[in-house]
Amino acid sequence: MTTPDFMKTINSQTMAAVIQQYPIAMDFLANYRLNDILKDRPLPKALDQVEDEILEEFGLERDDIVQNFCMFLETFSQTETSLDSVWSITINGGVNKLKEPENISLTISAGEIISIVGPTGSGKSRLLNDIECLAQGDTPTQRQIMVNGAEIDDLQRFEMDGKLVAQLSQNMNFVMDLTAREFLEMHAKSRLTANVDEVVEKCFQCANELAGEKFSEDTKVTQLSGGQSRALMIADTAYMSESPIVLIDEIENAGIDRRQAVLLLAKKEKIILVSTHDPLLALSADKRIVIKNGGIYKIIVTSEAEKRNLAAIEKFDSTLLMLRNSLRTGELITEELLEL
Amino acid sequence: MKLITVAGPPSSGKTSVVLKLIECMNMPEGSIGVVKFDCLTSFDNISYEAAGVPVQMGFSGKICPDHYFVSNVEDAVQWGMRSGFEMLITESAGLCNRCSPYIKGILSICVIDNLSGVNTPRKIGPMLKYADIVVVTKGDIVSQAEREVFAFNIKQVNTAAKILFVNGITGQGTFMLAKYLQQALEVRTLRDMKLRFTTPSSVCSYCTGETTIGEAYQMGMMKKMEFKEI
Ligand SMILES: Nc1ncnc2c1ncn2[C@@H]1O[C@H](COP(=O)(O)OP(=O)(O)OP(=O)(O)O)[C@@H](O)[C@H]1O
Ligand SMILES: Nc1nc2c(ncn2[C@@H]2O[C@H](COP(=O)(O)OP(=O)(O)O)[C@@H](O)[C@H]2O)c(=O)[nH]1
Ligand SMILES: [Mg+2]
Ligand SMILES: [Mg+2]
Ligand SMILES: [Zn+2]
Ligand SMILES: [Zn+2]
């Protein structure tokens, strides 16, 4: 639908009918304190009954309200975005901190997991930032990021900005005072999801599978444990975030099944980059980028032999988890425990 | 000289963002100046001076900070011209949600943070509604979902705005913000330019120093609440 179509709808249909078709219209009314206007007539007629004073406070004439409403409906009825069609990104090397060329080109496809390893301060976050802002040789690293094999211009960059990348990190928390279910519903609504109940249900189940300890959908998100929060965030990113690229900054020791978590995101055809010191996560990736002195120093493809070691690492990992639990419950750490 | 106006609630991250932005633009020291408009007091000059950014402070005291802004912004521009800046950034602490210190044609940035509650964008009013760019800070502390819901709520109030997530501590996101600033208008004066939104007509007795409560002391523009009997 185009602007004139929306205008026609607004002028000819009753507010009740418009709200039925676009439930989000209620939000518009609430934003202007117009919740209680008469809904048995079209908006322009209903506005005739509204006191001038309310409109003046918002600095608007009746015509402006109608115009704004039209723009509002137009904005929130566009569900399709060009982002659905990002199937690969390519990192073209720039220079490291010593200005030596990286001489590298790496293409990452949807469904692939790449880990980024390197000492503190080596430039892992810098690489994630370059990807986020779709660097075109204009950041200190001079790297270039291509999308679907093509260079992108500033206009496309502006367009994709903020929507391309979803981020997850250790210090993220929930600040909303909502239950897990309300939280997911709210996110679904903001994504203009059609089948809210179904998506929310899937998301919730998945979060519970990832979380060490289960939680109910009536739990307040602010009361979830660190692991449960992380699990909910990952499930939510997998099922509800529109961003085709997920950047994960250190989610080790999160009390969730971290491997399952990244595999889940990969299954959802996301491009995943994990900056990590965690062998379990690093080896779960298809490739790992080694950063040194601010530059990409090496790219290691995870070999079959390395993957076979995953089982042993998982065993270490669960031993550590068990030791942590023993500590928590006040037990002594004995040699027998270590040998399990 | 390019002029950019930055507004936002107290502690939303305005100073942090402006400082990171200046760092990211990599222009010669002294070519970007800042004017800070605040209400009673502010320590922002310390942060700006520490970063080698020339700064001028102004305190509105008992006047609405946005009225104060309008009456002084042209002088600020003249100060910037005299100082030979290439860019002047004004920072104002939006204290009343009814105001917005934005001028037609001048790039306007509103800074709000993710922690203020997801529905806050729907309550902020003109300061958000009339901004060209809305910068959202403190995204490092909240979940991706909350960031997305927050952006959605901003869109509800300002369908045309560009929404940028910037981390005021690490500077992540300032790169794209800097790119937008390149489009800012060059000005020599603001004379005859218009505000985007009327400042409130706050000319009641309390504006001018009255402190006693009671009908007899209320004069001028008044708005009374309606209380329904129960
Ligand atoms: N190629 C480069 N050229 C110039 N500066 C660089 C380059 N790579 C990284 N830097 C700079 O080096 C500093 C440290 O990098 P960064 O924060 O990305 O490290 P990190 O690996 O994420 O560290 P940590 O493990 O502590 O999080 C940053 O200021 C970054 O901008
Ligand atoms: N975690 C986090 N803190 C921030 C961010 N931006 C600003 N802050 C902090 O928020 C506080 C207020 O920032 P300031 O720039 O002074 O806000 P102003 O009053 O709007 O100028 C400071 O302690 C900043 O360090 C951010 O993106 N993330
Ligand atoms: Mg880092
Ligand atoms: Mg400040
Ligand atoms: Zn005011
Ligand atoms: Zn008054």
Residue of chain B nearest A133, judged by CA positions: B176
Predicted local distance difference test score (pLDDT) of residue A163: 81
pLDDT band at B95 (very low <50, low <70, confident <90, very high): low
* A27 Cβ under 8 Å from any chain B Cβ: yes
Predicted local distance difference test score (pLDDT) of residue A216: 94
Q: Where are the domains of chain A?
A: 3-80, 108-304, 305-340
CA A266 – CA A278 distance, rounded (Å): 18
Number of H helices, E strands in chain B: 7, 7
Closest atom of ligand 1 relative to the A127 alpha carbon: 18
Range list of β-strands (E), B81-213: 87-93, 107-113, 133-137, 162-165
Burial of B31 (0-12, 13-18, 19+ CB in 10 A): middle
CB-defined site of ligand 1, < 6 Å: A 95-97, 118, 120-126, 140-141, 294-295
CA B67 – CA A129 distance, rounded (Å): 39
**pLDDT, tens only, B12-44:** 999 999 999 999 998 999 999 999 988 777 788
Predicted local distance difference test score (pLDDT) of residue B116: 83
Predicted local distance difference test score (pLDDT) of residue B207: 65
Q: Is B12 in the pocket of ligand 2 (CB under 6 A)?
A: yes
Taking the centre of ligand 2 as the mean of its atom positions, its distance from the CA of residue B167, in whole angstroms, is 9
ipTM: 0.80
Closest Cβ opposite residue B122 in set A31, A75, A242: A31
Map residue A322 onto helix, strand or coil.
Answer: helix
Tell which CATH architecture fits domain A108-304.
3-Layer(aba) Sandwich (3.40)
Taking the centre of ligand 4 as the mean of its atom positions, its distance from the CA of residue B54, in whole angstroms, is 15
- Give residue A236's region: left, alpha or beta (phi > 0; psi -120 to 50): alpha
Per the model's pLDDT, the better-predicted residue between B119 and A293 turns out to be A293
Range list of β-strands (E), chain A: 88-92, 105-109, 113-117, 144-147, 165-169, 245-249, 271-275, 287-292, 295-301
Which numeric CATH code is attached to A3-80? 1.10.3910
Chain-centroid distance of CA A252 in Å reads 18
Highest-confidence range of A174-178, A324-328, B122-126, B162-166, by mean pLDDT?
Answer: B162-166
8 Å CB contact of A161 and B156: no
Predicted local distance difference test score (pLDDT) of residue B215: 76
Averaged pLDDT, B114-123: 84
- For residue B198, the 8-state DSSP code is P
Given the DSSP bridges, would you call strands A271-275 and A113-117 parallel, antiparallel or unpaired? parallel
8 Å CB contact of A241 and B148: yes
Flag whether pLDDT at B130 surpasses 80: yes
pTM for the whole structure: 0.84
Residue type, B56: Q
Taking the centre of ligand 3 as the mean of its atom positions, its distance from the CA of residue A99, in whole angstroms, is 20
Interface test with B, best of A175, A265, A272 (most B CBs within 10 A): A175
Residue type, A159: E
Map residue B216 onto helix, strand or coil.
Answer: helix
8 Å CB contact of A186 and B157: no
Q: Could you tell me which of B82, B83, B42, B40 has the C-alpha nearest to residue B62?
A: B40
CA A171 – CA B141 distance, rounded (Å): 6
Contacts of A34 in chain B (CB under 8 A): none
- Residue A151 CB partners (closer than 8 Å, separation 6+): A136, A144
- Give residue B13's region: left, alpha or beta (phi > 0; psi -120 to 50): left
CA A193 – CA B202 distance, rounded (Å): 44
Contacts of A169 in chain B (CB under 8 A): 140
Per the model's pLDDT, the better-predicted residue between B132 and A335 turns out to be B132
Indicate the average pLDDT of chain B: 86
Predicted local distance difference test score (pLDDT) of residue A218: 94
Predicted local distance difference test score (pLDDT) of residue B221: 63
Parts of chain A with a pLDDT under 70: 78-84, 251-255, 340
- Residue B122 CB partners (closer than 8 Å, separation 6+): A27, A30, A31, B153, B156, B157
Question: What Cα–Cα distance (Å) separates residue A14 from each residue in A17, A40, A46, A75, A144?
Answer: 5, 5, 9, 20, 52
Flag whether pLDDT at B147 surpasses 80: yes
Predicted local distance difference test score (pLDDT) of residue B10: 86
pLDDT band at B68 (very low <50, low <70, confident <90, very high): confident
Q: Where are the domains of chain B?
A: 2-199
In testing the pocket of ligand 2, which one of B5, B6, B11, B21 has its CB within 8 Å of the most ligand atoms?
B11
- Residue A5 CB partners (closer than 8 Å, separation 6+): none
Starting from the CA of residue B94, give the closest ligand: 5
Which numeric CATH code is attached to B2-199? 3.40.50.300
Sign of the CA dihedral with A278 first, then A279, A283, and A287 last: positive
Predicted local distance difference test score (pLDDT) of residue A327: 86
pLDDT band at B201 (very low <50, low <70, confident <90, very high): low
Question: What Cα–Cα distance (Å) separates residue A161 from each residue in A130, A158, B162?
Answer: 12, 5, 9
In testing the pocket of ligand 1, which one of A115, A124, A126 has its CB within 8 Å of the most ligand atoms?
A126
Taking the centre of ligand 3 as the mean of its atom positions, its distance from the CA of residue A124, in whole angstroms, is 6
Predicted local distance difference test score (pLDDT) of residue B78: 93
CA distance B168 to chain A (A): 14
CA distance A104 to chain B (A): 24
- Residue A262 CB partners (closer than 8 Å, separation 6+): A113, A248, A272, A274, A281, A284, A285
CA A271 – CA B143 distance, rounded (Å): 19
Flag whether pLDDT at B96 surpasses 70: no
Residue of chain A nearest B121, judged by CA positions: A31
Averaged pLDDT, B178-191: 90
pLDDT band at B123 (very low <50, low <70, confident <90, very high): confident
